[in-house]
Amino acid sequence: MLVRDIMKSPVISIPPETPLGEAYRLMQERGIRHLTVLTENRLAGVVTDRDLRLATSALSPEPFTPEDRVSEVMRRYPVTAELEDPVEDAARVMRESKIGCLPVLKDGALVGILTGPDLLDAIMRMTGVDEPSGRLEVTLADSPGELARLTSFLSHRDLKILSILSYPDAAGFARTVLRVGSIETRALARDLRKADFEVLWPPERPWPR
């Protein structure tokens, strides 16, 4: 999945001379938290609802007024993404930069915007959690052939695999989380345990109520 698959477009943008109060009203009307700022159709900055609230707060040493311009509080030279960037790379950049959005550029022109909720929607789609499904979590030895052994086991049960995620666990092991096309996973987990797989979810016994 790429940035172009989940970004919002067209983008709601404002010029830098927009008053802070007008920018905030626009955010409220459109139900958004970020506005891109354009100068001659080129990205000049980004302003967020938090930027506006902090800038005009009475607790600020020198608060701005609602009539002051966005250019005085916007974040210049914002971090951006490209259309063909993988979604997981965009998520890493947003997390490392501690930002809530990425303007998306094509040949230097603004074509979209990616926000935190867009990434959450993408994760839901990528993991299959937005479809009726069951969850399995298995610990595998971190060695070639182990994942193939697991998927081969499932394939012999005519079971659709909606998603597979794997990540390192303790030294020499990996956790593998699967979404499968059945909500009846306890019997499947029992068979996996009989085949010497270490199943973490569902638990061997139901949680006490």
* pLDDT tens-digit series, residues 107-141: 999 999 999 999 999 999 999 898 889 999 999 99
Quick one: which H or E segment has residue 164?
strand 161-168
Q: In this structure, are 164 and 75 located in the same domain? A: no
Q: In this structure, are 174 and 72 located in the same domain? A: no
Domain CATH code at residue 195: 3.30.70.260
> Would 207 be classed as within a structural domain?
no
Average pLDDT, the chain: 94
Q: In this structure, are 34 and 62 located in the same domain? A: yes
Sequence length of the chain is: 209
pLDDT of 17: 98
Distance (Å, rounded) from C-alpha 188 to C-alpha 77? Answer: 52
pLDDT of 205: 73
> Would 99 be classed as within a structural domain?
yes
Locate 143 and state its tokens: 């060695």
Of the residues 71, 88, 123, which one is the last residue of a structural domain? 123
Domain residues for the domain of 99 are: 3-123
> Would 208 be classed as within a structural domain?
no
The CA-CA-CA angle for residues 123, 127, 133, to 5°, reads: 135
* Partner residues linked to 146 by β-bridges: none
Domain CATH code at residue 97: 3.10.580.10
| Residues 196, 190 contacting (CB under 8 angstroms) | no
Cβ-based neighbour number of residue 206 at 10 Å: 8
pLDDT of 130: 87
Given a cut of 90, whether residue 47 has pLDDT beyond it is: yes
| Residues 136, 178 contacting (CB under 8 angstroms) | yes
Given a cut of 70, whether residue 187 has pLDDT beyond it is: yes
pLDDT of 207: 55
> Would 206 be classed as within a structural domain?
no
Q: In this structure, are 140 and 193 located in the same domain? A: yes
* Domain count along the chain: 2
> Would 11 be classed as within a structural domain?
yes
Cβ-based neighbour number of residue 53 at 10 Å: 12
> Would 53 be classed as within a structural domain?
yes
Q: In this structure, are 99 and 69 located in the same domain? A: yes
